[in-house]
Amino acid sequence: MIKNLFALENLLYWLLIFIPIAIVLELQHAAGVWIFASSALAIIPLAGLMGKATEHLAAKMGEGVGGLLNATFGNAAELIIALMALRKGLYKVVKASITGSIIGNILLVLGLSIVAATAAAHGGSVSVTSEPGHGATARVNLDFLTRRHPLQ
């Protein structure tokens, strides 16, 4: 049991200790940088747990429900931060955050589309595999070494 406690896949859970640390620091009116740092470290394993939970639900309920859950909970931390900023009247911060998220998502989709189109144009392929609990892997295959190109 002790060996499993220190296994690589369980080391992320050690960061859960920062949840009560962040609460205690807030109640003790510690410096903001320490509260922020401990809260940021506490979010990491929580985001991982939410990701694993949605992957397991997607495996049981189907890809459509899994995609909906990922779209809903994928931005949970951003939503929580936006709600806290709205409560404090930081409207420009929320606008900038939403704008950055939209631009980031557009660039990600555009970039992946360009990669897929380039691979297809050069006789290659793009494949994506996903296993519940292990994330997704994208593979781009291009036949640069086995084909003669017009420029050679």
Determine contact, residues 98/82, Cβ cutoff 8 Å: yes
pLDDT at 109 over 90: no
Identify whether 95 is part of a domain: no
The residue with greater pLDDT, 136 or 95, is: 95
**pTM score:** 0.53
Q: What pLDDT digit, counting tens, does each position of 64-105 carry?
A: 777 777 777 767 777 888 888 999 999 998 898 888 888 887
pLDDT at 142 over 90: no
Q: What share of the chain is helix, strand, coil (3-state, %, to 5)?
A: 70, 10, 20
Identify whether 83 is part of a domain: no
Identify whether 88 is part of a domain: no
For residue 151, what pLDDT band results from cuts at 50, 70 and 90? low
DSSP string of 73-139, one letter each residue: HTTHHHHHHHHHHHHTT-HHHHHHHHHHHHHHHHHHHHHHHHHHHHHHHTT-EEEEEEETTTEEEEE
Determine contact, residues 124/112, Cβ cutoff 8 Å: no
- If you average pLDDT over each of 98-107, 124-133, 135-144, which comes out highest? 98-107
What pLDDT was estimated at residue 37? Answer: 94
Identify whether 60 is part of a domain: yes
Identify whether 53 is part of a domain: yes
pLDDT at 23 over 70: yes
pLDDT at 143 over 90: no
Q: Which range marks the domain in which residue 38 is found? A: 1-74
How many structural domains does the chain have? Answer: 1
